[in-house]
Structure 1
Amino acid sequence: MANDQWSTGTVLVLGATGKTGRRVVEGLERAGRKVRLGSRGAEPAFDWEKPEGWAAVLEGIAAIYVAYQPDLSVPGAVEAVGAFFHQAKQAGVTKIVLLSGRGEPEAEEAEQVLQATELDWTILRCSWFFQNFSESFFLDPILAGEIVLPDTLAPEPFVDADDIAEIAVAAFADPRHSHQLYDITGSQALTFAEAVAAIASAIGRPIAYKSVSLEAYRTDLNEQGVPAEVVELVIYLFATVLDGRNEPVADGVERALGRSPRRFADYVARTAATGIWGGNHA
């Protein structure tokens, strides 16, 4: 496959039903690109744990958006993405856009594995998403009216998944994004309590915010019946990524798109209007 085909050929989007993947698919389709969905429910199916099925998914693919599930920090993730990059290169893929995690040592290892290949690459090293409050993690606690989190969490410059997807789509079209590592954050660092308070204000009802020790939080997750491997992942991320190392705001959105990042306040207003967080029905 010619080296320039990554900007016009079919794009495989891994994690196509996830927070960023779904948006990347939509953006590519708006741009008129052919897209193949990469997920366990797609045909052909993609599963990180079934490499024997990768060849069928890679056939005829020019470029790939790689979002590893559940997270690049889990055991075996770096080895899996390395094997996948190798197989993608053998299949004729010439471009990879990798979703990476800011402040995660294992994610940086995965970045280095990609950079060591002969593939054209763009790396999106991202802070926590705005959408964690509305599309996963914190949605149920918000609806229940109380969020309990460890008291160790530092402020985080949350970023809009729409910004991440917009950069990814641009990276598949414009060679100026080639071999670029974008450190992607929002425009300001917020504490989790501040973020929850902003949501409570927008929906017109209180959301209690309770801080507990990291060990008490682990116990709470276990008592809720959260799978052990998920508990360990969450505790690891909270203790590592949210220890303050990621608090500084970065310029990745501005470098990539020539504009400021989307604002958390605008996300809250937009999301509250959808009704997904409920509201004050008194």
Structure 2
Amino acid sequence: TTSYKAWAERLAGYAQSDKVHHEAEYWLNLPMHRAARLPQDFLGSTNTEGSARRIALSLSTEETRALLQDVPPVYGTEINDVLLTALAQTICRWTGSSALLADVEGHGRVALFDDVDLSRTVGWFTTVYPVLLELPDGRPGEALQAVKAQLRQIPGQGLSYGLARYLADDADLVQRLQALPSAGVLFNYLGQFDQSLARSDMMSLSAMSAGAERSPQAQRSHLLQVTSYVSGGRLHVEWTYSQTLHHWQTIQHLAQSYLEALRTLIIHCRNRDALTHKADAFPQAHLSQEELDAILAELAE
């Protein structure tokens, strides 16, 4: 497996490539100003790690099973498509905007080079990159398809954003990236712990706290951090916020609204799947597949 040092050195060189500079233009051209800033209950307070509090809610096992198994085939989506659609719907209802600017955290183990293998390399590979999600007016299925399409446009699985911003030698490019609006929300889906730990007889998930990872005086990077994962057959969603900036009731309402948005998407996809038909099965109706899909989508509501 490739060493962490070798990977870092390859990235430093790759950051100077024309490909990374070209992909960086994607973020520079995003209309990030369309997303509203997050409301705050308290103004003028500091957003420190010591003020951070957490609210956690979960879907049921059946809802989680449907989210993972029933939803993806309907529109060809991945789990992040659904989770981010629900997040955009929740935050946009709160802000009154039709767009959400969020930072998305990924695993970062991107296959960039044929001669690099990171499968067994130990190290911190996390990537963080901004995502602008604009929601259309309409049904849940339209929102889900719109978010999916926008996420598929992101170049290099988001890795090129960090490379250009922090490693590029082009001072003008770095300055323009640093001048972009900052996201108030950090989103991270950690994956299915049941799936990864089931293969090990030596390890299991501990309920014990790992302790503080940062100084209580350190500044938090975002107003809200939304972290989700599957454990015990259930999707768990944790909302981390600062008690000096938001009432716990505000975040509790957001957390509950988020689960309701997920449930609405699940129900829509299950109904949609049950109503799926081919237009050629109804020759006397003289409908195109698009027209039939529109009718079925309306019935699914």
For this structure pair, what is the TM-score category when the shorter chain's length is used for normalisation?
under 0.3
Q: TM-score w.r.t. structure 1 length?
A: 0.28
Q: Normalising to structure 2: TM-score of the pair?
A: 0.27
Between the two structures, name the one with larger relative contact order (CA 8 Å, sep ≥ 6): 2
